[in-house]
Amino acid sequence: MMAVGVDPQMPASTTLDKGATLSLRSVTKRFGGVAALSEFSLEVKPGELIGVIGPNGAGKSTLLSLINGAQRPTSGELVLDGTHRIDRLRAYRVARLGVARAHQIPRPFARMTVRENLLVGAQSAGRRAAASAHLVEDVLDLCGLSDRAQRPAGALPLLDLKRLEVARALSLDPRLLLLDEVAAGLVAHEIDEITELISGVHKRGVTILLVEHVQALVQALAERVVVIDFGKQIAEGTPAEIAEDPDVIRIYLGAGEEGATRRVRVEPDTPVKELLGTDRLCVDYGKLRALRDVDFKVGESEVVAVLGANGAGKTSLARALAGIVPAGDGKISFAGADITGLPAYKRARQGIAICHEGRRLFTGMKVRENLDLAAYSGASSGHQDELLARVYQLFPLLEQRAASLAGELSGGQQQMVAIARALMSDPRLVIFDELSLGLAPAVIDQIYVAIEEIRSWGISIVLIEQNAYRALGIADRAYVLERGTVSYVGSPEALEDPAALRAAYFGGAVVGKIAREGGKQEEMG
């Protein structure tokens, strides 16, 4: 591969001289009133491989978009090699300075061959045909795509599409490579292959920023890890140091045992009747398989916690159960009926409600109007007044703010509206996706009290939660998802060991050991 700064008319070499330096100085990026990054600073040395991790919505993808010129910062500076203010440049000019990005979801030119896809990048800097061809052959060999060079990109399986996505970035001959969750959707042996590919690129001297949810990959490759939460850097260190950092554990797992309450579990006299179940459920996004052969069950009036690291498939499970995304394979049953092919609105009328991550309220409508809409779309049929009285009793503040626009409420108040809206459809099952995300501890306390009250109404609950200790404290059973598969199902108590939870989120064999010894597909009741 050719080093940036070499005359593009000269033959390409196969080893980069050195990677790029990058300085982010007090960078802020706002979207309206929301700061995706806030006063963020980072120094990247030539040839470093830095992992960037953090929970959903932390600002990781925004960071990469600012570096590659896809977005402009609201304030602050991004400086490449000590001289180039890239925050002032368009994306194509940033690319010509040696910055390239590989995205989570590959989007190649599907009808073009693998080689032709790479030639697009190689020729973009005005290289002669011979130099471009040399660079392309080098990248094909590095990425293990030489024997697939003449195949149409659209015919490749997922692993090869991931390789091609990295190869397309490398065809720009970068010194700074931005990798945005390139391992997403891959299974274990495929992650090993992608890890080997990234390691090979790094050994050539390329500076790499690796945003990744697959913690095993970060641990295997990163020399330094930076952790972002709410747009701010909260920790930095080696992978081992980060895995033990109390602040990192807190943002991924919650406050710990001292901040959680445990409901006393009473074993039922008879087995709990199944309300919802899946059989080998799969969910696909194009060629990316987000869920693989998931068997999942929820009983009547049961709270089931679903845990796992970012990108494990939790939200995909929620959306599949609610009918928002179709099942790629497998079966979903509810109240004894097969609902696999039912659209979301029909599932709502049968008694499945979802409270989305990020709330997704109609912010320009009043609180009461948000609630009334849910009553008409669900299974309430004729007793809206009774349902409204119940949610006002659950959250008295909503009755006081009924005439306020939903968008004028605080984040905690909006979450209450989102919960109440789900309950206004008179559900038998509610799916809560990341209830506590971004909320103050006092608000989280109030919401978890409400969950116990909702359970007392006979409503089953699927609780997908980043605050693991909180969820385990009220759950009857727990599932852990890892890369789209179930790695544990059974008693919540078995996961309250901090070492087990850290293993589930940051890698290790503890959860697997628990599953083998004490939590093998525990039946309801």
**What is the predicted pLDDT for the residue at 257?**
44
Q: Rounded mean pLDDT of the chain?
A: 84
The most distant pair of C-alpha atoms in the chain lies apart, rounded to whole Å, by 80
pLDDT in tens, 94-139: 999 999 999 988 989 999 999 999 999 998 877 888 889 999 999 9
pLDDT at 434 over 70: yes
Domain at 273-351+428-442+459-525: CATH architecture: 3-Layer(aba) Sandwich (3.40)
Return the bridge partners of 307, or none. Answer: 480
Q: Give the pLDDT of residue 249.
A: 77
Prediction pTM value: 0.69
Structure-block tokens of residue 489 = 């199902």
Q: Looking at mean pLDDT, say which of 73-77, 105-109, 369-373, 431-435 comes out highest.
A: 73-77
Looking at residue 255, its pLDDT comes to 56
Q: Within a 13 Å sphere around the CA of 21, how many CA atoms are in the beta-carbon half? A: 9
In the numeric block, the tokens 């720009």 are attached to 172
Question: Looking at the predicted structure, is the pLDDT value of residue 63 above 70?
Answer: yes
- Is 92 exposed, middle or buried (CB count within 10 Å of its CB: 0-12, 13-18, 19+)? exposed
Domain ranges of the chain: 22-106+171-252, 273-351+428-442+459-525, 361-426
d(CA 327, CA 329): 5
For 295-309, letters b (16+ CB in 10 Å) and e give ebbbbbbbbbbbbbb
Residue 2 pLDDT class (50, 70, 90 cuts): very low
Q: Is 67 left (phi over 0), alpha (psi -120 to 50) or beta?
A: alpha
Q: Report, as an integer, the average pLDDT of 209-226.
A: 89
Mean pLDDT is lowest, of 84-88, 252-256, 282-286, 420-424, for 252-256
Express as a percent the part of the chain with pLDDT over 70. Answer: 86
Residues 216, 199: contact at Cβ < 8 Å?
no
For 5-19, 308-322, 365-379, which range has the lowest pLDDT when averaged over its residues?
5-19
CA 106 to chain centre: 16
- CATH architecture for the domain at 22-106+171-252: 3-Layer(aba) Sandwich (3.40)
Given a cut of 50, whether residue 8 has pLDDT beyond it is no
232, 39 Cβ separation under 8 angstroms: yes
Q: If you average pLDDT over each of 148-152, 377-381, 383-387, which comes out highest?
A: 148-152
pLDDT beyond 70 at 270: no
Domain 22-106+171-252 identical in fold to domain 273-351+428-442+459-525 = yes
Which of the four pLDDT bands, split at 50, 70 and 90, describes residue 341?
A: very high
Q: What are phi and psi of 366, to 5 degrees?
A: -70, 160
User: Which pLDDT does position 12 carry in this prediction?
Assistant: 38
Mean pLDDT of the region 436-446: 73
